[in-house]
Amino acid sequence: MNLSSSLQLLLGLDGRHLRYPGVEMVAVEALRIVPGTSKGYLTVDGEVIPWTPIQSHVLHKRARIMTR
């Protein structure tokens, strides 16, 4: 994927990004990411985090969002 395609993908997170070649959605309850090399940046929600394995899991019914 070239830079232009990557930018379009990141700017189009309204569901259309799932139609791009190479993009696949997999529903999971938990995940673990282990960086394969020691080069690069690892970010979560825009914040740089240490270059170590990270894991996450879904917490069902842990938040309630109310809007007008």
Q: What is the pLDDT of residues 33-51, one digit of tens each?
A: 898 887 788 888 888 888 8
Instruction: Give me the residue label for tokens 């109310």.
Output: 66
The span from the CA of 48 to the CA of 46, in Å, is 7
Q: Does 30 have pLDDT greater than 90?
A: yes
Q: What is the mean pLDDT of the chain?
A: 81
Instruction: Please indicate whether residue 4 or residue 26 has the higher confidence score (pLDDT).
Output: 26
Instruction: Please indicate whether residue 32 or residue 4 has the higher confidence score (pLDDT).
Output: 32
Q: Does 15 have pLDDT greater than 80?
A: no
